[in-house]
A and B are shown apart, each in its own frame.
Chain A
Amino acid sequence: MTRRLRLGVFGIGALGFTALLVWGLAGLPSFGSFDGRYGQLLARVTVPERTATSSIAVTTFDFRGIDTLGEEFILFTAAVGMLVLLRVQRAGEEVAAEPAGARRPTAGSKALRSVATALVGPVLVLGIYIVAHGHLTPGGGFQGGVILMTSFLLVYLAGTHIHLGRGRPIDVMEASEAAGAAGFALIGVGGLVLAGTFLENFLPFGQMGSLISGGVIPLLNVSVGLEVMGALLVILGELLDQRLLIGRHR
Chain B
Amino acid sequence: MGFLPYAVAAWLFVVGLYGIVTSRNLIHLVVCLAVVQASTYVLLLAVGYRSGGAAPIFADIPTSRKVVDPIVATLTLTDVVVEATVAALLLSLAVQAHRRFGTLDPDELGAMRG
Contact = CB atoms under 8 A, between A and B. Distances in A.
Chain A bound to chain B:
yes
Given A39-B69, A59-B74, A136 B59 contact: yes
A94 to B, nearest CB: 15
B77 to A, nearest CB: 6
Contact of B74 (A46, A64, A86): A64
B18 interface: yes
Contacts of B107: 3
Interface in A34-81: 34-36, 38-40, 42-44, 46-48, 53-56, 58-60, 64, 67-68, 71, 74-75, 77-79, 81
Interface in B37-90: 46-52, 55-59, 63, 67, 69-74, 77-78, 80-82, 84-86, 88-89
Nearest to B67: A43
Given A21-B10, A31-B2, A43 B70 contact: yes
Contacts of B22: 3, 7, 10
A67 B47 CA distance: 20
B112 interface: no
B10 A18 contact: yes
Interface in A117-167: 136-138, 142
Contact of B69 (A14, A36, A46): A36
A12 to B, nearest CB: 12
Interface stretch (A22-30, A97-105, A106-114, A171-179): A22-30
A142 B77 contact: yes
Given A33-B51, A138-B55, A78 B89 contact: yes
B59 A32 contact: no
A115 interface: no
B92 A238 contact: yes
Interface residues of B, number: 53
A191 B80 CA distance: 28
* Residue of B49, B71, B77, B98 with most partner-chain A CB within 10 A: B71
A38 B80 CA distance: 22
A42 B59 CA distance: 16
Contacts of B69: 34, 36, 39-40, 43
Contact of A56 (B2, B4, B7, B74): B74
A238 B91 CA distance: 11
- List 4 A-B pairs, minimum CB-CB distance, nearest first: A32-B51, A78-B85, A39-B69, A55-B56
Given A53-B59, A59-B73, 5 more contacts: A33-B51, A68-B78, A86-B95, A238-B92, A242-B95
Interface of A: 3, 6-7, 10, 14, 17-18, 21-22, 25-26, 28-36, 38-40, 42-44, 46-48, 53-56, 58-60, 64, 67-68, 71, 74-75, 77-79, 81-82, 85-86, 89, 136-138, 142, 209, 232, 235, 238-239, 242, 246
10 contacts: A10-B21, A17-B17, A22-B10, A28-B6, A31-B6, A39-B70, A64-B74, A85-B92, A239-B92, A239-B95
